[in-house]
Amino acid sequence: KSDSLAGKVITITGAGSGIGRASAVLMASRGAKLVLVDFNEATGNETLELVKEQEGEAIFVQADVSNEEHVQNYIQKAVETFGKIDVAFNNAGIIQKFQPFHETALSDFSRIIDVNLKGIFLGMKHALKVMDQQGHGHVINTASTTAIRAEHSLAAYTASKHGVAGLTKAAAIEYVRKGIRVNAICPGGVATSLTAAVPQMLQDSDYMPEEFPNMRMGRYAEPEELAELVAFLASDGSSYMTGSIILADGGLTL
């Protein structure tokens, strides 16, 4: 079956919650062997339990994706445990507080860039090193609709996600003849802990949109709906896709 992930070794960052957790559970049910990575040890281990309920094979490695030693460590654990990395799903990310551009502290800007852009860079770099040696692999990055167009009062987040699209395209052309593909997904609004924090964050800011983010479908996506896209990309069914910046946003950007 083209959607089978049987035997594929897949690393997932941000696996303790939201899109990462839903992707872990779905991909385990399709036969993948998983390396679950999160900063949060408790929620990461909860995902490990959920995966085991699917009779999935997995390990959890605690790591901060913005720390190169931590990234090297989980990549090494993946290879030691399963012998290869077929798919690296670089998904961990954080939202910034809503604030005017000219009031954005450099420390706030740097924190967002550290996790959302540097974290993706490091995850890609060390997975690509393994994949280059193997002669095959697929990197899937979580970007956002803010990789394509700006969101009001979210300059740092918007810049970080535009950067993720840039890294995706740059690596895609570099590795296209090496059997390695690189793609990015762009969710709109997804019902996760990230968006759960948004109403309070808006209240604490001066920015009062009528609706955030725009929900043309009248609802957020469930994380499981994004997991379906990730599982498809991770499968051999996506074999002709590389360098794609793929929207799954319920029409948000229309």
**Which residues of this chain interact with ligand NAD, rule CB under 6 A?**
13-14, 16-20, 38-40, 43, 63-66, 91-94, 115, 119, 142, 144, 187, 189-190, 192-195
Strands 87-90 and 57-62, how do they pair? unpaired
207 φ/ψ angles, rounded to the nearest 5 degrees: -95, 125
Residue 157 a catalytic site member: yes
Question: Would you call 123 exposed, middle or buried from its count of C-beta atoms within 10 A (0-12, 13-18, 19+)?
Answer: buried
Name which of 132 and 194 has its Cβ closer to ligand NAD.
Answer: 194
Query: What minimum distance in Å lies between the beta carbon of 4 and ligand NAD?
Result: 25
Q: Which is nearer to ligand NAD, 45 or 104 (CB)?
A: 45
Least distance (Å) from ligand NAD to the CB of residue 49?
A: 15
Report the alpha-carbon distance of residue 127 to residue 129 in Å, rounded.
5
Catalytically annotated residue among 74, 157, 175, 220: 157
Nearest-CA neighbor of 84 among 142, 28, 151, 129?
129
Using the minimum distance from each CB to ligand NAD, give the nearer residue, 158 or 192. 192
Q: Is 141 in a helix, a strand, or coil? A: strand
Q: How far is the CB of 139 from ligand NAD (least distance, A)?
A: 14
Q: Burial of 6 by CB count in 10 Å (0-12 exposed, 13-18 middle, 19+ buried)? A: exposed
Residue nearer to ligand NAD on the CB measure, 91 or 183 = 91
CB 103, min distance to ligand NAD, A: 22
The CA distance from 248 to 234, in Å, is 16
Q: List residues with catalytic annotation.
A: 157
